[in-house]
Amino acid sequence: MNLWNRFWKWYEDKILGSIIIIAIIQFIQIPHMIWNADMMLEAGMISRVNPVIDWLLYGVDLIEIISIINVGMIMISLIKKRRAERITRSIKQD
């Protein structure tokens, strides 16, 4: 088994962990969305109170990169698994 196939086997075995990571990232987005709404409405209740908090809540957007990559890998993994199942079914039918 080559390195690429070993990686995908390992990743498919850990798919629940990937979904948990995505869920955590999405939950972190909730305070970011509230902060962003405060910025847009210029209410100043949350945003522009402390530059460190602003920087952290703005930086949450960068965490989404991990989520985007993770979702793409889950999709690829599921596509590969379905293709393998189809091939297996077609071989058994012959």
CA dihedral 22, 40, 31, 21 (to 10 degrees): 10
3-state secondary structure of 48: coil
Rounded mean pLDDT, 21-46? 83
Confidence category of residue 82, pLDDT binned at 50, 70, 90: confident
Rounded mean pLDDT, 45-59? 82
